[in-house]
A = this chain, B = another copy of it.
């Protein structure tokens, strides 16, 4: 068999069964291998950012890497933004980049570029395959590297001769390193902090936001009185009825700092110390006050759940705690605003939904309101590279075909990777896309004001305004084969959303906000 087939056989043997592809000429042998090897599903994206963002969403829901199949440096570059988000989410992703045949690089043909330089900023592991005989083992290494806790992006550059030359056959799967348990000293220190009598909080992230860890955290809170706070942009948080409620650290640094200031102790569990999303002249990078002591319970790549359970035991937490069932919000009526849209989503989202929240400023209200919704997963924009929501919804739907995926998507951000809608249509994905159409880069209007630009000039206004012309998302969806409808009142939205939830997807609703 050729190297390409050896690689794909290795991937299947390693438990990888999805390839998100936007191939070109240098990937033709790899494309052929997708058919030659049973067990690898190929899904086409019409833009590389769809593939990489879908791999991120898939990884968040399964814990396993998908392959991406990308075309040389420029094709890879189109996927970088969402790989940046995947890196921040600690998502395992394996990129396969077809490159020129090794002997052709010296010719500096038009598509030649420095792929390792492009790949390194988003990849924890980068390798260029040397020869076809090594390609299967390189693939096994990449797949294991991607799963190295807490998970990372692994990028394998495949000169085309490595794909078309013969290899000896597939390689054995490489061993994936297990998460390491947290030592007693860390548990001791965290217990001392949270039982000191001074106000404390557990700051949760990563696997600390899954049900088992959250239950342990709730027990710790019951025993110690500590607060539970989670990182502002969580890769995935399990929340809603039946799950412990955790506060989300506010986005703006002064609000985040205000929330943290009263704390004498902050114990990190799966999260890094919180920092400001952006630097402002009047605010330091650190949100934690100098009087707050930070203890590390567990890093993202360690056994966060085990650490929380050990801590619960150490603080003599009750074996179970009653979780107050937050009241579910009622559906709103009247004008469609960011608030009423969020309320409608929270009021109507079904049990076990996966909500991919790239609502940006329009999503702020939703998150708090959805605490009383039925149990669900919420995926957010970990790396700040907008255009992640629709692709991640694609990946989540591929990962969990039995669950309803709701892509709650700001209109400005949605435009970066709108090609995702086509993949939703082709694969008949059960995704309801809700476009929060405020027809502005609202966050930038806010940031202009925060920067002291009280009365932006005509060009600044034009650069943050999306009304001229207004995007027509129903037409955009139709153009890619997704049925869509527009809602301009809460009632219209609720009616459209109920219909969309009742039918298999994909569906799109453009919620035009006042």
Chain A positions within 8 Å of B, measured between CB atoms, are 21, 23-26, 28-29, 31-32, 34-36, 41-42, 44, 46-47, 49, 72-75, 77-78, 80-81, 84-85, 88, 100-101, 103-104, 106-111, 113-115, 117-118, 120-122, 160-161, 164, 233, 272, 275-281, 285-286, 382-385, 387, 412, 415-416, 418-419, 422, 425-426, 443-444, 447-448, 450-451, 453, 456-460, 462-464, 466, 468-481
Minimum CB–CB distance for A476 against chain B, Å: 4
Q: Are A415 and B42 within 8 A (Cβ)?
A: no
Q: How far is B41's CA from A277's CA once the two chains are assembled, in angstroms? A: 30
A473/B463 in contact, CB under 8 A:
no
Q: Pull 23 A–B residue pairs with CB atoms less than 8 Å apart, ordered by A.
A: A26-B278, A28-B448, A28-B451, A31-B448, A31-B459, A31-B464, A41-B459, A42-B462, A42-B463, A73-B121, A75-B81, A77-B80, A77-B84, A78-B387, A84-B111, A100-B279, A109-B277, A111-B385, A113-B122, A118-B121, A418-B419, A471-B480, A474-B479
Asked if B385 and A74 make an inter-chain contact with CB atoms under 8 angstroms apart, the answer reads yes
| A73 close to B84 (CB less than 8 A) | yes
- Minimal beta-carbon separation of A434 from chain B (angstroms): 17
Contact, CB under 8 Å: B285 / A109 = yes
Which of B28, B29, B481 touches A469 (beta carbons < 8 Å)? B481
Given contacts A25-B443, A74-B383, 20 further A-B contacts (CB under 8 A): A24-B444, A36-B457, A46-B412, A46-B416, A47-B387, A47-B416, A49-B78, A73-B80, A77-B81, A78-B81, A78-B416, A106-B285, A107-B276, A108-B275, A110-B277, A117-B118, A418-B419, A471-B481, A476-B476, A477-B479
B88 x A84 contact (CB < 8 A): no
Nearest 3 CB-CB pairings of A with B: A35-B457, A469-B481, A104-B279
Given A113-B121, A384-B110, A444-B23, are A285 and B462 neighbors across the interface (CB < 8 Å)?
Answer: no
A85 to B361, CA, bound (A): 35
Known: A34-B460, A416-B47, A479-B475. A28 touches B81 (CB 8 A): no
Q: Once bound together, how far apart are the Cα atoms of A513 and B138, in whole Å?
A: 42
- A23→B416 CA distance, assembly (Å): 13
Beta-carbon contact of B77 and A281 below 8 Å = no
A21, chain B: closest CB distance, angstroms: 6
Residues of chain B with a CB closer than 8 A to A28's CB: 444, 447-448, 450-451, 453
Pairwise interchain contact B110-A459, C-beta atoms closer than 8 A = no
Q: How far is the CA of A106 from the CA of B462 in the complex (A)?
A: 33
Given contacts A74-B384, A111-B383, A114-B120, contact A34 B476 (CB under 8 A): no
- From A118, which residue of chain B is reached at the shortest CB distance? B121
**In the assembly, what is the distance between CA of A85 and CA of B110, in Å?**
8
Q: How far is the CB of A464 from chain B (nearest CB, A)?
A: 8
Contact across chains for B32 and A457 when beta carbons are under 8 A apart = yes
Contacts of A44 in B (CB 8 A): 462-463
Cβ of A117: which chain B residues have Cβ within 8 Å of it? 117-118, 120-121
CA A239 to CA B117, docked complex, whole Å: 38
A161 to B: closest C-beta gap in Å: 7
Q: B residues within 8 A CB of A477?
A: 479
Residues from chain B with a CB closer than 8 A to the CB of A34 are 457, 459-460, 463
Query: A275 vs B100: C-alpha distance in the bound complex, in angstroms?
Result: 13
Scoring A32, A115, A233 by chain B CB atoms within 10 A of each residue's CB, the highest score goes to: A32
Q: Which residues of B contact A387 (CB under 8 A)?
A: 47, 78
Q: Which chain B residues border A164 with CB–CB below 8 Å?
A: 281, 451
Query: Cα distance A179–B78 when bound, in Å?
Result: 34
